Structure 1
Amino acid sequence: MPHRDDQASQPAPSALQLGSGPRRIVLISASVGAGHDGAAAGLADRLTAHGFLVDRHDFLDLLPARAGRLLCSGYHRLLTWAPEGYQRLYKATDQASRPGALWRALFRSAEHRTLAVLPPDTCAVISTYPGAGQVLGALRRRGLLRVPAFTYLTDFSVHAMWVAPGVDAHLAVHPVPAAQAHAQGAAGVTVAGPVTDPCFTPATAEQRPAARTRFGLPAHAPLALLVAGSWGVGPVRQAAVEIQKTGVAVPVVVCGRNQALAEELRRDGIEHAFGWVDDMPGLMHACDVLVQNAGGLTSLEALAAGLPVASYRCIPGHGQTNAQALEEAGLAAWIREPAQLGPVLTELLHGPRGQAQRAAGIALHESAPGPVPAITERTGHGLTPTAPSAAVRHTGRRRLALTATIAAATVSLGVAAPLAYAYAEAPTRFIAVTHYLHGDRR
């Protein structure tokens, strides 16, 4: 469903200088996990504070015939049932010079609906999801989208799918992903900084004990907050038990929407296991270090909250590449072996390494210019979109049935089930499927 964040408050001067009144920016995210939507929410807050009107849309809803939901479900199943299969797919698509034929057909099927959700007063469109960025770039290249298109890079590492020819600017949270994007040929690369919720701040002396009491946590023991995204995927049970065995910190585990995982952890003797937590700023106030496995939005929130971050037992694909990039940036320690877990946690809790990471995390949020200057710089030329021409509208309708069929087949037959099945049956069959997905018909 679309979200509209129009605000009736008085526009800030920076927005008024761009035209005769408030201008509209459309954000396209995707409800694949929570990180892409979280970034969109942060962007919306900052843009509305500067006087823009903001619409939000879910890219999965812009795909026809429930293809978006099939895509999300297939991705979830692949991470859960065949994580090494996801690793192979991630690597194969990262090494391809362009998306394969089936991916291009899937993205093409979203073009008509994407244009249809842009109101006439739209002055820019921003994607926080790679697929949406590919669609916007293609529309810009063909002249069908007549306002600037931006991609906000939510990850600390930049997969090739994030870089879309035709997109006017790629906004990064840190110089490390900015350099990766630039090396892959991304246009207008700018370090904009994180867009985390301002509620994530270092705990005061009063907030920490109050938060521990509220969540029923030990009053004095060091607490390691273990997170695994909104889906609670990866070897979380193993990581929680290993943290507990170190004796260095008490594990506090957030399982997201995976309530079954929370119950399993309690049976394993992990006392503090939560499902979905609405007050993550409060829980971070209660804890002393974050242990994560994907390098997503929660890592940035922890850095804003003054927690040192460790990457451990990372999920394949972006989990591992994000861990490497965060380590390169000096923002998180990547624990590659179980034997390193206790010593590294000790350093982060009590040593200079933890102090340095806390300072770097806070500085990342305080020193970044934010995304609004980069956006306003490119939307200050009076550009307004025009509605798609009649030819475009009719072509979109004629193509809709065909693209719906292609998209549904792409996801249900070409992305989800066969990937997990092929990898379970034989590596050679899996490799053949991934070659097909990125356009190799040999």
Structure 2
Amino acid sequence: MGAGHDTVAAELVRRARERGDTAQTVDVLALLPYGLGTVLRCLYRGSVRHFPWAYAAVYRLFLRPGPGRRPSGTPLARLAGGRLRELARRTGADVVVPVFHLGAQLTGHLRDRGLLPVPTAVLVIDFEVHRQWLHPGNDHYLCLTEDAAREARGSTGRPAERCGPVVAPEFFAGTTGAPGTAGWRDVFGRLGPGRPAVVLSAGAWGVGSHLDATVRLLTDHGFLPVVLCGGNRRLRRTLSGAPGVLALGWVTDMPGLLHAARALVDNAAGQTAVQALAAGLPVVGHRPLPGHGADGVRRMAALGVSEVAEDETELLGALRRLTAPGPAREQRIAAGHALFTENGDALTLVTDLADGSRARARRRERAYGRDARTG
């Protein structure tokens, strides 16, 4: 739907190709017939931008975790079944890795009915594991945290383990992979000398609640707001007219930007948030998007890797503590980095699953050959 799923898929492909494997991505929405994928994307984007209460209702009905019988996404997902099966056959795939919940419903349905011959490893990229990620037909689950893995095991009865967030190596603090950092610091220094640069993330679609009020609050209290407007040109035009504000469109040098800033104000607990944690940037959740955004922001804070600011006073207090040098900032950075330590690499876990499946297939073939000779 947004860019986070694509970013994770692209990083897995990069790692696979670096190791000499063959990998490719496919948009599950593009596999749906009759243009349904485009309709779904437009409906979701429109509801989040203009009718957030409508998306909150959809989330409560279809997605929110918890007991109770509620509608499933499987009937919609199964419409893409024929195209995915043909793609897996044509490419000779050894494993399929959904990184979006509709994909997980599709592969779970196919595996459950014996229609997809290769194993599936669902990479759950949300901190809050909502119910549409979970289908007992899938073979394996890879999650950001051990708590999430425990939930996946309990709900599906399938193996699940922690792999941590999938982030490109140049985001990590201490790397030399962010050559644009000095350039961003120069820009920040010219626009707001002496003002800590605080990144406000509005996602790929530039969606947020009362972003203009948050920007005014930060400028009035000595911060330099750096707003990621994504593809929302209207938002960028509106904010660009305000003094002491840096409103950006699509940013191609996110590692350099995050390394140069002092904090991130986040509303979705998505890929930008985990990239910030990798870069050593404290994260504060504020005015989260409804549904999975709000649940994810609160789950991040419960894990101790970020904070939640319920109002303007809390936001200012958190930013003053976390942008200034000192133990509060260092502790929050260390907690964020802990998400990435001592985890199994997601790609290694995926290829181990594929290797095991190939080994079992070879044993079956040998056993079949023996039976045929002795029969």
Would you say same fold, with TM above 0.5? yes
For the residues of structure 1 that align with 2:77 and 2:124, how far apart are their CA atoms? 18
Q: Give matches, 1:273-312, under 5 Å.
A: 273-312=247-286
Assess if the C-alpha contact under 8 Å between 1:203 and 1:285 holds in 2: no
2:11 alignment partner, SS class = helix
1:228-250 deviation per Cα after TM superposition (whole angstroms, max 9, x unaligned):
11001122222222222333x21
Return closer, same or farther for 1:134/1:348 CA change in 2, 3 Å cut-off. Answer: same
Answer 1 or 2: higher relative contact order, Cα 8 Å, separation at least 6: 1
Assess if the C-alpha contact under 8 Å between 1:265 and 1:273 holds in 2: yes
Deviation at 1:217, TM superposition (A): 4.4
Task: Name the counterpart of 2:184.
Answer: 211
For the residues of structure 1 that align with 2:360 and 2:13, how far apart are their CA atoms? 20
Q: Give matches, 1:20-419, under 5 Å.
A: 32-93=1-62, 94=64, 95=66, 100=71, 103-118=73-88, 119=90, 121-185=92-156, 187-202=158-173, 208-213=181-186, 217-235=191-209, 236-247=211-222, 249-269=223-243, 271-350=245-324, 351-383=326-358
Assess if the C-alpha contact under 8 Å between 2:127 and 2:296 holds in 1: yes
Deviation at 1:90, TM superposition (A): 0.6
Deviation at 1:41, TM superposition (A): 1.0
For the residues of structure 2 that align with 1:385 and 1:122, how far apart are their CA atoms? 15
195-204 vs 117-126, greater mean Cα deviation:
195-204
Deviation at 1:214, TM superposition (A): 5.2
Name the amino acid aligned to 1:281: P
Return closer, same or farther for 1:259/1:120 CA change in 2, 3 Å cut-off. Answer: closer
Deviation at 1:80, TM superposition (A): 1.2
229-238 vs 175-184, greater mean Cα deviation:
175-184
Assess if the C-alpha contact under 8 Å between 2:3 and 2:204 holds in 1: yes
Return closer, same or farther for 1:57/1:208 CA change in 2, 3 Å cut-off. Answer: closer
For the residues of structure 2 that align with 1:144 and 1:279, how far apart are their CA atoms? 42
Return closer, same or farther for 1:181/1:219 CA change in 2, 3 Å cut-off. Answer: farther
For the residues of structure 2 that align with 1:382 and 1:130, how far apart are their CA atoms? 23
For the residues of structure 2 that align with 1:150 and 1:300, how far apart are their CA atoms? 21
Assess if the C-alpha contact under 8 Å between 2:125 and 2:144 holds in 1: yes
1:318-370 deviation per Cα after TM superposition (whole angstroms, max 9, x unaligned):
11111111111111101112221111111212242221121122232243221
Return closer, same or farther for 1:70/1:315 CA change in 2, 3 Å cut-off. Answer: same
Deviation at 1:288, TM superposition (A): 0.6
For the residues of structure 2 that align with 1:382 and 1:163, how far apart are their CA atoms? 21
Return closer, same or farther for 1:193/1:288 CA change in 2, 3 Å cut-off. Answer: same
Assess if the C-alpha contact under 8 Å between 1:232 and 1:255 holds in 2: yes
Q: Give matches, 1:8-19, under 5 Å.
A: none
1:187-232 deviation per Cα after TM superposition (whole angstroms, max 9, x unaligned):
2111011111111132689975433225754454211111111001
Query: Which runs of 5 or more residues in structure 2 are unaligned?
Result: 362-375
For the residues of structure 1 that align with 2:154 and 2:197, how far apart are their CA atoms? 39
2:24 alignment partner, SS class = strand
Assess if the C-alpha contact under 8 Å between 1:240 and 1:270 holds in 2: no
Name the amino acid aligned to 2:159: G
Query: Which runs of 5 or more residues in structure 1 are unaligned?
Result: 1-31, 387-442
Task: Name the counterpart of 1:415.
Answer: none
* TM-score (normalised: structure 1): 0.75
Identity of aligned residues (%): 33
1:116 alignment partner, SS class = helix
2:252 alignment partner, SS class = coil
1:148-202 deviation per Cα after TM superposition (whole angstroms, max 9, x unaligned):
1111011111110011120111111222322333343362111011111111132
For the residues of structure 2 that align with 1:314 and 1:189, how far apart are their CA atoms? 28
Count of residue pairs the alignment pairs up: 353
Return closer, same or farther for 1:188/1:121 CA change in 2, 3 Å cut-off. Answer: same
Task: Name the counterpart of 1:412.
Answer: none
For the residues of structure 2 that align with 1:368 and 1:149, how far apart are their CA atoms? 20
Output the aligned Cα RMSD. Answer: 2.4
Assess if the C-alpha contact under 8 Å between 2:119 and 2:357 holds in 1: no
For the residues of structure 1 that align with 2:101 and 2:169, how far apart are their CA atoms? 25
For the residues of structure 1 that align with 2:342 and 2:79, how far apart are their CA atoms? 40
Return closer, same or farther for 1:99/1:137 CA change in 2, 3 Å cut-off. Answer: farther
1:367 alignment partner, SS class = coil
Name the amino acid aligned to 2:346: P
Name the amino acid aligned to 2:49: T
Name the amino acid aligned to 1:272: L
For the residues of structure 2 that align with 1:368 and 1:232, how far apart are their CA atoms? 32
Assess if the C-alpha contact under 8 Å between 2:215 and 2:245 holds in 1: no
Return closer, same or farther for 1:262/1:270 CA change in 2, 3 Å cut-off. Answer: farther
